[in-house]
Structure 1
Amino acid sequence: MSEQETFIAHLIELRDRLLHMVVGFLLTFICLFPFANKLYSLLAQPLLSRLPAGGKLIATAVTTPFFVPMKVAMLAAVVLSLPYTLYQAWSFIAPGLYAHERRFVLPLVVTSTLLFLTGMAFAYFLVFPVIFGFIVGTAPAGVAVMTDIGNYLDFVITLFLAFGLAFEVPVVVVVLVRMGIVSVQVLQEVRSYVIVGAFVIGAIFTPPDVVSQIMLAVPLWLLYEAGILAARLMGRNRQAV
């Protein structure tokens, strides 16, 4: 087979893999769409549970009551179809990797996915109650907290991304060490700067209460330490081999 035929075959396979990803997402979205309103109610529960009796969210635009729950269903479909999407991506790139690369990349992909989902769960179950309790508790007397459902969705998506990406720190550390960009010794030496940076990031991506800032900064620091530990262990295993 000529190089041109090989290239075309790869393009055809890539098209098929992408098509499978899209179909997997669409089928998941179709199944979730009838439950879009319930999914949004579940997403809004951390705030609704902190509102005073009779408190509720509001919709300030005509189309918001339809499109916002639909967006939530789409996001849920992305998360639920992620294993299938990653499987398709792995099936495409795996044949072009060496055996030792496959042994490194596959656990890396699985671990990074699980860590991102863990970060989202950490935000939903632990951070959201603290943040919304602080926001509602600091509202001036006579002010009813009634957030627009679209603004609420944008806010929680930002926090999901912040905590999901924060939980990727061990993966980033391991990759940097494995690629030889930095050494474990250097990572240990810059630890103090990382801790300061973690608290700066916590101040940027969370409301201005100390507890929620700490709830982002401390996991960032601990995950950084976990990444250093994992990189050191992997280095010892490679030397042993």
Structure 2
Amino acid sequence: MNSEMNIVDHLSELRKRIIITLLAFIFSFVVSFVFVKDIYQYLVKDLDDKLALLGPGDILWVYMMIAGTSAIAVTFPIAALQVWKFVQPALTKVEQKATLAFIPALFLLFLVGISFGYFVLFPLVISFLEGLAGSDFETYFTVEKYFTFMLHLTLPFGFLFEMPAVIMFLTRLGIIDPYKLTKARKFSYFGLIVLSVLITPPDFISDVLVIIPLLGLYEVSITVSKMVYRKKIHTEVS
């Protein structure tokens, strides 16, 4: 009976956390949509020509996509906090304090990842593809294709750059350790390379520009895992 009530309590708590996250996303989406034209103007300020529309619904779809992406960025730390609150009862006081500190790091790394995709990778890929077209083609960007392409090169990096913080979190909880990460390096490299090829346009330059930072992030993750693991062992011994 107690076990059944415990499961019900867990499900009720999980539902509460999901509802809070969804409400935060909806609120952020509405606010973002109010200012979506300003965000749009910022994103296209460096374009020489206006983007083309192929249908009356394209601009609404793009505005919703921009507002949705902005809402995800705003909601991300709130979602991370809700996950922490859900697992909090299972953690010791020391673990609670240590893992709570990861939430600002998650948010900062998310912003760094998006910034890398938008300010570094996206302009390089666009420049490369325009150079590939050269004078042989008349280039017109549609608003839907342009922003879909931008989204595919920016948003995934927000999540991929979370790798060091997630590894630190899992190491702190004792789920993984740096020795497991080192042992799995070859398989992890292969998985990251495959992932890089899947999320980037089908050209070699884009693949390399994505693969290098991801492999670097994995090595950084091993390093921070070692630091957290040593500190964890030292605390347990003391």
TM-score, scaled to structure 1: 0.77
Displacement of 1:16: 3.9
* Equivalent residue number for residue 32 of structure 2: 32
Distance 1:189 1:11 in 2: 36
Per-residue displacement from partner, 1:17-51 (whole Å, max 9, x unpaired)? Answer: 43333332222222222222222333344xx53xx
Per-residue displacement from partner, 1:78-101 (whole Å, max 9, x unpaired)? Answer: 212333333344334323432243
What amino acid sits opposite 1:162 in the alignment? P
Say if 2:100 is the partner of 1:90.
no
Say if 2:212 is the partner of 1:234.
no
* Equivalent residue number for residue 168 of structure 1: 162
* Equivalent residue number for residue 125 of structure 1: 119
Distance 1:68 1:21 in 2: 23
Per-residue displacement from partner, 1:119-161 (whole Å, max 9, x unpaired)? Answer: 1111111111111111122224252322222222222222224
* Equivalent residue number for residue 102 of structure 1: 96
* Equivalent residue number for residue 54 of structure 2: 60
What amino acid sits opposite 2:59 in the alignment? P
- Rate the CA distance shift 1:197–1:8 in 2: closer, same or farther, 3 A: closer
Distance 2:197 2:14 in 1: 42
Percent identity reads: 30
- Rate the CA distance shift 1:27–1:144 in 2: closer, same or farther, 3 A: same
- Deviating beyond 6 angstroms after TM superposition, the runs of 4 or more aligned structure 1 residues are 179-182
SS at match of 1:81: helix
Say if 2:189 is the partner of 1:218.
no
Residues 126-135 or 209-218, more deviating: 209-218
Q: Number of residues paired by the alignment?
A: 235
* Equivalent residue number for residue 150 of structure 2: 156
- Rate the CA distance shift 1:88–1:122 in 2: closer, same or farther, 3 A: same
Unaligned runs of 5+ in 1: none
What amino acid sits opposite 1:98 in the alignment? T
* Equivalent residue number for residue 137 of structure 1: 131
Displacement of 1:114: 2.5
* Equivalent residue number for residue 21 of structure 1: 21
8 Å contact kept, 1:134–1:209:
no
Unaligned runs of 5+ in 2: none
What amino acid sits opposite 2:163 in the alignment? V
Give the alignment's Cα RMSD to 1 decimal.
3.3
SS at match of 1:144: coil
Residues 219-228 or 103-112, more deviating: 103-112
